[in-house]
Amino acid sequence: MIEFKVDADSAGMRLDKFLRKKLERVPVSHLFKMIRTKRIRVNARRAYPDQALQAGDAIAVRGTEERLLAPAPSRNRSPVVDVSQLRVLLEDTWMMAIDKPSGLAVHPGSGISGATLVDQVRAYLGTYAVRNDFAASPAHRLDRDTSGVVLIAKRRPAMVRFTELFTRGQVKKHYLALVKGKMPRLRGIIDIALSEHQQTAASKAQHGVKMQEALTRYRVISQTKEASLLECVIETGRTHQIRRHLSAVGHPIAGDRKYGDFSFNREAKARWGLRRLFLHAQQIEFPHPEHGGKVQVSAELPSELQEAMKRAGLNIDA
């Protein structure tokens, strides 16, 4: 646990801006997620990104100093950015929706070399990437190996609003996944609690493994005896939730090197030409952060996944 005390000079500052200065290493999207999931509290109460701080306020952040207070990446980091590779699905003055390819990291971090989605977005926006001390940032995360729709907040009010929408469950995300074997039912719910992904070893030793509620709904689109193509909708946003849930029920995602089945992955590569994780964020639905109107954005299934699916004898139009 890390604690900050608000001094007189910081009185009146918004919580999100205060934390950006104190936790420089933490990506904006993760910072807002920590607020949304109550990992950050003000005076032992639920925190809100846009709340104004008062002198003497106590801010508690769940996490370790080693993880959260490490030096920020060098400001001189300047990877080569190819903006032509950025696939913009939707853009207005408040937000963007990007079709992220598999293999592209969303944020810079340890073990990440080369340009990230954040780098591409900010290079694309140029002088408009930063407004009122807020740099355009993803409103949520997507695994490096997962492709599909990612929402970008271009303004601080948009990020605050997206945080509220995710907190209230008003954002609906649809994924496509090819999994091992034939599913027992054409529709189902996987309701299995998952261990907190970022819990430290010290915390586990002191408090035990912390479990989080997690719920994934699935629908079979097409299947054979060997594999099934699923549409998955998550009710919660746990780290690697779909991958962990499907693995837990004996139907791991093809190409998943962390939670998958090695033999199945090898067969999928040899017979279907699958060389990546078959998980794609196909569609996202949400109220627009400015006017509240319904927005639906879709990203076409990448050609390499379409080809592997066809070779596996699966049909997305089934």
Contact partners, residue 62, CB within 8 Å, separation at least 6: 1, 34, 39, 40
Rg from Cα positions in the chain:
20
Residue whose structure tokens are 């009122």: 132
- Out of 143, 145, 256, 261, the active site residue is 143
- Which H or E element spans position 28? helix 28-36
Instruction: Please give the structure tokens belonging to residue 213.
Output: 């509620």
d(CA 298, CA 270): 30
Active site residue 119: no
Helices within 201-314 (DSSP H only): 201-207, 241-248, 262-272, 303-311
Contact call for residues 149 and 98 (beta carbons, < 8 A) = yes
**Within a 10 A sphere around the Cβ of 35, how many other Cβ atoms?**
24
d(CA 13, CA 158): 18
3-state SS of 122-156? Answer: HHHHHHHCEECCEECEECCCCCCCCEEEEEEECCH
Detail the DSSP E strand segments found in 58-213.
58-61, 88-91, 95-100, 130-131, 134-135, 137-138, 147-153, 172-180, 187-191, 194-195, 211-212
Catalytic residues: 143
